[in-house]
Structure 1
Amino acid sequence: MTTRVRDDTWVWALAGLALGLFGLGFVVRWQCTRGACALGRHEWLFDLDAVGSLPRLFTTSLFLAATVVAVRVAARSAGRRRLWWAAIAVVGVGLVFAKLVSAHSVVEGLDGRGLTLLVGTVATVVGLPVLARLGRAWGVPGARAVVLSLAVYAVAALGLDQVTGLAAGLDPSPLPDAAATFVEELGEALAALGVLAVVVRRLPHPAER
């Protein structure tokens, strides 16, 4: 059996791009919140959590790529393994949609951060163990790693969101707000990159079908 050499250079390249992009977003948010914004009406383009901004689209693109790869893995699988990967693709579509329209912000607007935490926790606690159990029962290679990466993202998304809310409540001044939002959004982006990296490793060569 031959072992495929995996080049993870692209992962580090995307991580570096994320640091640069979200770092720029931090500076823009901090300066514009202080009232010294040189970008004017184009501020939203680099805002850390604005719908349609480059940082948010970066994270959305990672989930979109992971969804495409999951569909390809499903296409190269058979039987129940194909069904399992189809479920992962559906999860990916949900994450793309949620990030694209900022679903958690919509929910927070309806009933605060508590509802976001409750819904996200229930989905994580119920959904991920089911995927893990089915992956083990159906003999899906790498199922545990994929589920673990999704769990890491869920913890980052839900936990950092609560930290941001706490920081804003303690000190609503521009710098702490920008720093907390930077940590939250960058943490989500790196966790999403981890999901993509894990899913890509599950993509077999045609000869390995």
Structure 2
Amino acid sequence: MLGPAAVGALLFAAGLLVEVRCAVDRCPAAGWSRLLALDAPWALPRLFTAAVFLAVGLTAALAVAGSAARVRWWWAAVLGLGVALGTAKAASASSVVEQSGGRFTTLVVGVLLSAVGLPLLWRAGRRWAVHGATPVTLALTGCAVAVLGLDQVTAVVRSASSSPVALAVATCLEEGGEAVAALLLLAATSAWRPSRRGGRQS
């Protein structure tokens, strides 16, 4: 996990430098500013987080192949979540939903889905004796908190301060926090996925 974490740290540091330079001076070449923008669709920092979520889906797919009976269905749910989160992150789906339905509505729906879905996932994992149900569900909870909570922090900074540097820092913390949560989820799924039927990765 150190390699991906180092790559992510470099990307987000570079993105923050670009955002701050654009705020206080002038942006570098347009191609670089778009490529390293912290919250732009299809920019490298956002694609990094999306790739980590998709790697979670791939790891869960391997767990599906190494599982049997109901355990397979549990990991299939994690697979679906990983792919959905990765696709939504790459396409900036949350921003699109906020623009059409409003920030408050998006937050309420996200909280309700997390509050209902994550406990159900955990209880199913415990009932079906899925090794790693608790750490993986906790990591998913961390992702939900990062995605839903850090966005609100950025919104508060945007409304309370007119400083573009403060907004750049808040955006970096939001996007970087989501990337850290995604990496922790990948670490949990990698550590606990079964590598053979009924077994756990050694």
Q: TM (normalized to structure 2)?
A: 0.93
1:63 paired residue number: 53
Q: Distance in 1 between matches of 2:126 and 2:72?
A: 14
- Listed as ranges, the matches of 1:142-153 within 5 Å are 142-153=132-143
Does the 8 Å CA contact 1:56/1:99 hold for their aligned counterparts?
yes
**Residues of 2 paired with 1:123 and 1:208: CA distance?**
30
Give how far 1:35 is off. Answer: 4.9
Match of 2:147 in 1: 157
Give yes or no for the alignment of 1:113 onto 2:135: no
Q: Which residues of structure 2 form unaligned runs of 5+?
A: none
Distance in 1 separating the partners of 2:83 and 2:8: 21
Aligned to 2:42, which of 52, 58, 72? 52
1:189 corresponds to? 179
- Partner of 1:37, secondary structure, is coil
The percent of aligned pairs where both chains have the same amino acid is 44
1:19 counterpart residue number: 9
CA apart distance, 1:207: 8.1
Q: Which amino acid aligns with 2:146?
A: A
- Residue of structure 2 in register with 1:169 after alignment: 159
In the alignment, which residue of structure 2 is the partner of 1:203? Answer: 193
Aligned to 2:78: 88
Aligned residue number for residue 130 of structure 2:
140
State which of 104, 115, 119 in structure 2 corresponds to 1:125.
Answer: 115
Tell whether the 8 Å contact from 2:62 to 2:195 is kept in structure 1 after alignment: no
Q: Distance in 2 between matches of 1:144 and 1:18?
A: 26
Contact 1:64 1:96 in 2 (8 A): yes
Q: Residues 207 and 91 from structure 1, CA distance in 2 versus in 1: closer, same or farther, beyond 3 angstroms?
A: closer
In 1, Cα distance between the equivalents of 2:153 and 2:191?
Answer: 32
* Cα RMSD (Å): 1.5
User: Structure 2: how far apart are the matches of 1:53 and 1:159?
Assistant: 22
Distance 2:190 2:136 in 1: 10
What residue number does 1:78 align with?
A: 68
Please identify, of 169-178 and 109-118, the stretch whose mean Cα deviation from structure 2 is larger: 109-118
1:174 is displaced (CA, Å) by: 1.3
Deviation at 1:13, TM superposition (A): 2.5
**Partners of 1:107 and 1:115 within 8 A in 2:** no
Q: Determine the C-alpha separation between the residues in 2 that align with 1:112 and 1:35.
A: 33
**Distance in 2 of aligned mates of 1:199 and 1:205:** 11
TM-score (norm 1): 0.90
Matches within 5 A, 1:30-41: 30-41=20-31
